[in-house]
Structure 1
């Protein structure tokens, strides 16, 4: 366990996966600056920092950013390369073949991410899963409700990914499909004027403040060995009603699931242990 690891919901904000879509870098850095400069004076910011773990990743395609190209240095579209219903789109030679995505997958495996927004341009959408298939995930109504909260704050429109256009091998579907974290793609305009950029950053900052505090709303707990009290890496299954399963943090054994109010039947399972319900 790392010294700064705590039992908290974790939020991940990757941006600039497509190197020529620069607005995501601005949005995430603007949000980061807001958190750093307002911690001492803003109780909402203070509560968010004290009680959430926030990963801000302003540029996850640095070669594409420098070259001002959509794809990375290997001419692969990183948002077609993820290994969840991968189908070889975007020049991808294999599932999670690119170093940028290998790092993101490792990070997801090592952390209990509850909430993720990844930033793109040049539409004006809050895009929710799935992208690869027309059917909605089991959490769909809660996802749509949260999508609308973000959209209202950021002056965007809610859309289902598949309804907009089909994509396979994207980060959004990989995150929710393999970890159970709620994940969205945010599409904004890509303006050139500083005032327009500032307004987009301001709108998305407010949306993030609205949603990120909700990362702790739902079901949470810690899974431990009943004899040694050592934390366990475990699967948390939602048996009834059906929801996307999640996994505990491999270091602390904690889990956090953003979910609507209600009663749920859970089953907890870990390798070499009898399941618990």
Structure 2
């Protein structure tokens, strides 16, 4: 943890993990940047080559702003930590045995190549090679037509944005977090509002669950929950904030996940300084290590199960409706997952003109199994 890795060094480090742990780690890419750098991830799971039935998928995405560099290193360290402790640490072993974990250290490697260590404020490298802020480049939920047509949604967007959108479309992610820098806070949807007025709270239908998820990260971080003020105007009681309440961000990735996929995503700001000296990396890792792990574990909170037809066959594309929060669709194997904060919920499944009987569930820490028959 003595220096920042460049693109080649980062890929080499991830590939070494794949060689060291071939049954647990697999390196891949979701696409390429404007300048041709691979957008590389590492997948970690006990059955890394094939997802087990009802095994949920979770992801971390780092370095979306190229000059916000700490997240890039944190995800490299997290991969090494998880793999090196597998089989020795019961908590880590259980997490890997029951979860598909995807870590993408850098969504903006071109920007990172331009950024410079020691720059704490916004500087060169924030945007991609075209100078575009990737976290303003996703479909704007309040300003663009709502459609499920991927070609229409992705038209005219940056290569990195399109790659991330396609990845989100192609995988049944359940939970996600997008890691940034420049503050120390866990921010949750919505990131913007119809009026685009900064300081205006913009609640999603899953506001209680998002508050719960953000609080899990903040409380497991060494200092985040203490309302750290990187700027005099910062005010984050308990270390969390609604995104739009902080400032308006149209076209952000966390809202895109919520509106256009099954995944719940928050944005975590890791450090006051965006690109601090490498000598601080150990301290930042110790600040975030337990929070990163605790947040991954939340993919096993709420409800999961299978939707079947009257003959017991799985029903792909069925909609599982929750009385408080958004609906989710089943996979091609009829699976669904729904992260929920503790409380009482009523769920039912629908497809076409068919529906199941409603089921009331008292959600506690951990995951409840609820299967539906249409």
Structure-2-length-normalised TM-score: 0.66
Rounded to whole Å, the distance in 2 between the matches of 1:158 and 1:276 is 37
Q: Which runs of 4+ in 1 moved over 6 A?
A: none
How much does 1:139 deviate? 2.1
Is this contact kept in 1: 2:72–2:105, CA < 8 A?
yes
TM-superposition CA deviations, 1:134-175 (whole Å, max 9, x none) = 331222123213312211222222111111110101001111
How much does 1:40 deviate? 1.9
Is this contact kept in 1: 2:60–2:177, CA < 8 A?
yes
Partner of 1:275: 355
Q: Aligned residue pairs: how many? A: 267
Return the structure number with greater helix share. Answer: 1
Rounded to whole Å, the distance in 2 between the matches of 1:103 and 1:192 is 28
How much does 1:254 deviate? 1.4
Higher relative contact order structure (alpha carbons within 8 Å, sequence separation ≥ 6): 1
Partner of 1:77: 133
Is this contact kept in 2: 1:120–1:185, CA < 8 A?
yes
Is this contact kept in 2: 1:84–1:177, CA < 8 A?
no
Of 305, 309, 316 in structure 2, the residue corresponding to residue 221 of structure 1 is 305
Matches within 5 A, 1:34-183: 34-68=81-115, 69-85=125-141, 87=143, 96=154, 97-133=157-193, 134-154=201-221, 155-156=223-224, 157-183=239-265
Q: 1:42 to 1:158 in 2, by over 3 A?
A: same
Of 247, 251, 254 in structure 1, the residue corresponding to residue 329 of structure 2 is 247
Q: 1:141 to 1:103 in 2, by over 3 A?
A: same
Alignment partner of 1:13: what SS? Answer: strand
Structure-1-length-normalised TM-score: 0.87
RMSD of Structure 2 on Structure 1 (CA): 2.3
Higher-Rg structure is 2
Rounded to whole Å, the distance in 2 between the matches of 1:62 and 1:225 is 46
Q: Which runs of 5+ in 1 are unaligned?
A: 89-93
Alignment partner of 2:321: what SS? Answer: strand
Alignment partner of 1:85: what SS? Answer: coil
Does 96-105 or 17-26 show the bigger shift? 96-105
Q: 1:79 to 1:3 in 2, by over 3 A?
A: same
Is this contact kept in 2: 1:64–1:71, CA < 8 A?
yes
Q: Which runs of 5+ in 2 are unaligned?
A: 1-47, 116-124, 145-151, 194-200, 225-238, 358-374
